């Protein structure tokens, strides 16, 4: 179990190309009442190369259609390369996260490849 990453099926927060100024998604996922048992993972989808930094902002809110406030940001530095399926970054959702989360990402057209931002389970 050491190198296994437990994934949540079909709960991608973002699944898109980094070769754009903004990688957007309107996907909202329920995460409330999980008591800190979830994390957010960023995976390379195909070969990924960053010539400019990427900022992935996690937002949380009380309802699926309400307003969302910034929760945390995952930064991917410029001049990095990743192989298909490689875990790029991860962060744990705090125990006091609100009921729903969504993600936005700021990238650059000079970056290449795609990312998959998804929830993961923390083994306990």
CA dihedral 73, 78, 82, 86 (to 10 degrees): -10
**pLDDT for residue 1:** 45
User: What confidence score (pLDDT) does residue 123 get?
Assistant: 74
Q: How many structural domains compose the chain?
A: 1
Residue 1 lies in a domain: no
Does residue 89 contact residue 74 with C-beta atoms inside 8 Å? yes
Q: What is the CATH number of the domain that holds 108?
A: 2.60.120.1110
Residue 50 lies in a domain: yes
Q: Is residue 115 part of a domain?
A: yes
CA 84, CA 62: separation in Å to the nearest integer? 34
- Residues 4-18 have a mean pLDDT of 77
pTM: 0.90
CB of 98 within 8 A of CB of 32?
A: yes
Give the burial string for 59-82 (b: 16+ CB within 10 Å, else e): bbbeeeeeebeebeebebeeeeeb
pLDDT in tens, 33-82: 888 789 999 999 999 999 999 999 999 999 999 999 999 999 999 999 99
Is residue 12 assigned to a domain? yes
Domain that holds residue 89: 6-121
Whether residue 86 lies inside any domain: the answer is yes
- 42 part of a folded domain: yes
């Amino acid at each position: 179990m050491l190198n296994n990453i437990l994934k949540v099926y079909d709960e991608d927060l973002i699944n898109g190309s980094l070769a754009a100024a903004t990688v957007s998604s309107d996907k909202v996922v329920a995460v409330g009442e999980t008591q800190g048992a979830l994390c957010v993972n960023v995976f390379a989808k195909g070969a990924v190369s960053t010539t400019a930094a990427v900022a992935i902002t996690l937002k949380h809110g009380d309802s699926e259609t309400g307003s969302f406030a910034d929760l945390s940001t995952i930064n991917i530095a410029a001049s990095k390369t990743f192989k298909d399926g490689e875990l790029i970054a991860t962060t744990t959702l705090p125990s006091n996260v609100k009921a729903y989360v969504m993600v936005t990402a700021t990238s650059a057209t000079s970056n290449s490849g795609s990312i998959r931002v998804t929830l993961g389970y923390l083994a306990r």
